[in-house]
Structure 1
Amino acid sequence: MKSFSIFKRGALSLCACAVTLATLTVTAHAEDLLAKVKHDGVLTIGTEMQFAPFDFLQNGQHEGFNKDFFNEVGKELGVKVKFLDLPWPSVLPGLEAGKFELVGGPVTITKARMARYAFTLPIADATTALLKRADDKSINKPQDIAGKPVGGGKGSAQLAQLQAYVAHLPGKADIREYIDNNQAYADLAAGRIDAVGNSLPNLAYVAKQRPKVFAVVLPTFGAKTYFGFVGRKDADSRALIDAVDKIIIEMDKDGRMAALQKKWFGLAMDMPQTMPAINF
């Protein structure tokens, strides 16, 4: 009996050690990417520098909301932030291939994307609006684009909203897809198209920079949508997403987020503190 008890205690001890080791392994695995970023001292963000006011080049220098926001993230995490400027169609594939930790962009939060990627909490309103030429008196509300040529970003959620919207208008609009939003704005200014559909923050910034050329058409239309930053949907990335979410909440509470929104969008936006129900 004594030897059996010793054997039993030894077996239980080995089981307990195995469970403890397994728990530590799972915990370490869940924190791998955040731990790696802190160990390396660098958080790398993949984005496209053609998406003002979030990321854009001014006199060859990176500017925008994302630069300011991730500077705050870098301070909180104690790391440097590195941005990679890529063509937008290669950004999400680059994330999946592990070339960087997060996507800047930002990206419109949709059901389909949430099934494939991990999103941070919303950082801005992504609801679709229209931009027109400032001297165009024929477009005063979204319905007025019926029968007109309109531009939208290829593969964007705003393009999908625009397509769904014009499908119910009389004299359906001729929608032209652009990989580069700046090219869409250039075609609008030149009269080759009559409006551009994009998120309200993007268009408000463009109109603010060139008020004699462009004007925003309100109200917005389509589903209420939000922008967030994107990580890989795996256990390694969860701790990093959670850390960024915590910083977003802190910035909402202490006013830093509102200050950045006013600086880059011209207005502060009341963002949800938890992930909202996404119906699009």
Structure 2
Amino acid sequence: MTFQTSLRAALLGLAAMAAAPAAMADQLADVKAAGKIVTATDMHYAPFDMLTNGTYEGMTKDLFDEVSKEIGAEPVYQDIPWTAELPGLEVKKFDIVIAPVTITPERLERYTFTLPIADATVALVKSANSDMKEPKDIAGKTVGVQQGTAQFRALEAFGKELGGVTIKEYGTTDEAYADLATGRLDAVAGSLPNLTYLVKNRPESFAMFEPANFGPPTYFAWVLRKGDDSASFATAINDALLKMTDDGRVKAIQEKWLGAYTELPREVPTN
């Protein structure tokens, strides 16, 4: 064997060793080996995620409890500010973001989404004594929305169509609702199920616009890192959600928290 042949063989061996960990990476296997799924969510997003007397509950928890059982690992729930969730996912601080994240074309390029878990169509809520009726009535008004969300972008675009809306951003929707209740805002934009839940539980303070929603239909889902290593994990979650849809668990959980059942796509929307 010549020196050049030996060098070539050594380099090929090193290349194979370097490639091996990437080829062997499998997030589902890692999760099962650890026996836990480390999650991130914002526990201030009723009815999906809430802290009630210090106890985490909501539609997201009920759904993910069942998904975790199907996968065979214990969920670890963490309360993380929304703006830190996707960046934290990218640097592997947790396995998955289970805060309801709106599926958008831009996010699809950067992350792996699970099947939808709920409707996310953008809507508007007002104070109970407001004389505004239709979404277009927010023209020239001050509207609150959670920062860094798809709802913010939808509101921004809708405001431009109307000729101008003053948008005030908040760290949580609870903060926006509080300002709406005290008259500091004219309306709040958010997803339809969140606002429906708010009005159902606080009709003395809030009311929906008629119609409440604006913009195209959108969906909430959970988010994983992009890449081949997350593919098996995403498949396991989607298989669990489909099984739960077919056996009625998804319907029961939706009706418990939203008061009604909405049939969801059985594939991840691509636009």
- TM-score normalised per structure 2: 0.89
- How far off its partner does 1:276 sit? 2.4
Q: What is the letter of the counterpart of residue 52 of structure 2?
A: Q
- How far off its partner does 1:27 sit? 10
* 2:54 counterpart residue number: 60
In structure 2, stretches of 5+ residues that fail to align are: 1-15
Across the aligned residues of Structure 1 and Structure 2, the Cα RMSD in angstroms comes to 1.9
The answer to whether the aligner puts 1:78 opposite 2:94 as a matched pair is no
* 1:258 counterpart residue number: 251
With over 3 angstroms needed to count, the CA separation of the structure-2 counterparts of 1:240 and 1:62, relative to structure 1, is same
Moved more, 124-133 or 269-278: 269-278
The answer to whether the aligner puts 1:149 opposite 2:142 as a matched pair is yes
Helix, strand or coil: the match of 2:224? strand
- Tell me how far apart the structure 2 counterparts of residues 124 and 246 of structure 1 sit (CA, whole Å): 16
Contact 2:38–2:95 under 8 Å retained in 1: yes
* 1:243 counterpart residue number: 236
- Tell me how far apart the structure 2 counterparts of residues 124 and 45 of structure 1 sit (CA, whole Å): 18
Contact 1:151–1:178 under 8 Å retained in 2: yes
Contact 1:150–1:174 under 8 Å retained in 2: yes
Q: Aligned to 1:194, which of 183, 186, 201?
A: 186
- Aligned pairs (5 A) from 1:107-186: 107-136=101-130, 138-170=131-163, 172-186=164-178
- Tell me how far apart the structure 1 counterparts of residues 127 and 256 of structure 2 sit (CA, whole Å): 24
- How far off its partner does 1:26 sit? 9.0
Q: What is the letter of the counterpart of residue 194 of structure 1?
A: D
- Tell me how far apart the structure 2 counterparts of residues 46 and 156 of structure 1 sit (CA, whole Å): 16
1:123-148: CA deviation from partner (whole Å, max 9, x where unpaired): 11111000111121x21111111111
- Tell me how far apart the structure 2 counterparts of residues 27 and 90 of structure 1 sit (CA, whole Å): 26
Q: Aligned to 2:100, which of 98, 106, 118?
A: 106
Runs (4+) off by over 2 Å: 25-30
In structure 1, stretches of 5+ residues that fail to align are: 1-20
From the CA coordinates, give the structure whose radius of gyration is larger: 1
- Tell me how far apart the structure 2 counterparts of residues 267 and 141 of structure 1 sit (CA, whole Å): 24
- Tell me how far apart the structure 2 counterparts of residues 66 and 221 of structure 1 sit (CA, whole Å): 24
Contact 1:107–1:227 under 8 Å retained in 2: yes
Contact 1:161–1:223 under 8 Å retained in 2: no
- TM-score normalised per structure 1: 0.87
What is the count of residue pairs matched by the alignment?
Answer: 254
1:174-198: CA deviation from partner (whole Å, max 9, x where unpaired): 1111111111000000000010000
Q: What is the letter of the counterpart of residue 269 of structure 1?
A: T
